């Protein structure tokens, strides 16, 4: 079935001397793997390696065959060209971090248009916003909603339990967040990216909350691993 849709590049890696395998999250079919034969060679083809940078937003045409391991592009165009991300060290670090999060969480060939629109909008906001101090926090919280483990906003306690996703009145050993950070996390719930930037927190607190949310993802997303780019991200934002 010939399909025209939008796609977000999650990951690509070299195959052989001149080919690539590219994992894309598509609007129509979810996560798919594409084989790009000979793309590293000099070619007159309209499909170029530069189009497949991390989290690029593409407009693609391919022949969809449900039982095939790899799909093949017939046409690829960049749907949205990032203006600021490639030249902004902070935003670029966030982009790399997000790509690791997504490849950790989204693994099945299953369409989810709501999730696709959320990712697309999030990347637009990252590129266009002047302030992205709290971007990662609100991104992780809102992503958890689409993955099925958004914290319970109706629980009334001041200690966030990482195992059951609720706010409790008493701290539980090993699985509860301290009261100060729990209250801040609760403040972020229900906010959009723009609203989240109004919450002023120290760099140390921000790093602690991001680390907490990584642990939350580890507890609720099967096979999730701490992103390798996290330490680099901290170094850049602490500099």
pLDDT in single tens digits along all 239 residues of the chain: 899 999 999 999 888 888 899 999 999 999 999 999 888 776 667 888 889 999 999 999 999 988 888 999 999 999 999 999 999 999 999 999 999 999 999 987 788 999 999 999 999 999 999 999 999 999 999 999 999 999 998 888 999 999 999 999 988 877 899 999 999 999 999 999 999 999 999 999 999 999 999 999 999 999 898 999 988 888 877 75
H/E segment holding residue 228 = none
DSSP at 40: T
The total of other beta-carbon atoms located within 10 Å of residue 129's CB is: 15
| Contacts (Cβ under 8 Å, ≥6 apart) of 116 | 6, 8, 25, 26, 27
Q: Where are the domains of the chain?
A: 2-80, 85-238
d(CA 152, CA 216): 13
Fold matches, 2-80 and 85-238 = no
* Per-residue buried b or exposed e for 13-48, using 16+ beta carbons within 10 Å of the residue's own CB: eebeeeebbbbbbbbbbbbbbbbbeebeeeeeeebe
**What would the CATH number be for the domain defined by 2-80?**
2.40.50.140
Of 128, 127, 135, 136, nearest in space to 195 by CA: 135
List b or e across 78-99, with b for residues whose CB sees 16 or more CB atoms inside 10 angstroms. eeeebeebeebebbbbbbbbbb
Phi, psi dihedrals of residue 2, rounded to the nearest 5°: -75, 125
Helix (H) or strand (E) holding 38: none
Using the Cα atoms of residue 96, residue 97, residue 98 and residue 101 in order, give the sign of their dihedral. Answer: positive
What is the topology classification, in CATH, of domain 85-238?
de novo design (two linked rop proteins) (1.20.1440)
Tell me the torsion sign for CA atoms 27, 35, 59, 84.
positive
Predicted local distance difference test score (pLDDT) of residue 186: 95
């Amino acid at each position: 079935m010939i399909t025209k849709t939008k796609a977000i590049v999650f990951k690509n890696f070299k195959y052989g001397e001149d080919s690539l395998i590219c994992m894309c999250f598509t609007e129509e079919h979810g996560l798919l793997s594409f084989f790009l034969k000979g793309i590293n060679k000099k070619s007159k083809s309209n499909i170029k390696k530069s189009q497949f940078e991390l989290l690029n937003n593409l407009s693609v045409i391919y022949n969809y065959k449900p039982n095939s391991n790899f799909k093949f592009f017939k046409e690829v165009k960049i749907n949205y060209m990032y203006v600021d991300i490639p030249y902004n060290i902070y935003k670029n670090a966030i982009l790399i971090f997000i790509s690791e999060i997504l490849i950790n969480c989204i693994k099945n060939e299953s369409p989810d248009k709501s999730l696709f629109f959320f990712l697309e909008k999030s990347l637009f906001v990252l590129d266009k916003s002047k302030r992205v101090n709290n971007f990662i926090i609100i991104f992780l919280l809102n992503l958890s909603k689409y993955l099925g483990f958004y914290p319970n906003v109706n629980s009334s306690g001041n200690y966030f339990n990482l195992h059951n996703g609720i706010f409790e009145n008493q701290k539980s050993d090993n699985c509860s967040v301290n009261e100060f950070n729990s209250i801040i996390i609760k403040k972020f719930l229900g906010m959009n990216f723009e609203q989240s930037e109004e919450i002023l927190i120290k760099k140390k607190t921000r790093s602690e909350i991001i680390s907490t949310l990584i642990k939350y993802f580890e507890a609720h997303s099967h096979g999730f691993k701490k992103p390798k780019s996290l330490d680099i991200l901290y170094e850049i934002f602490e500099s």
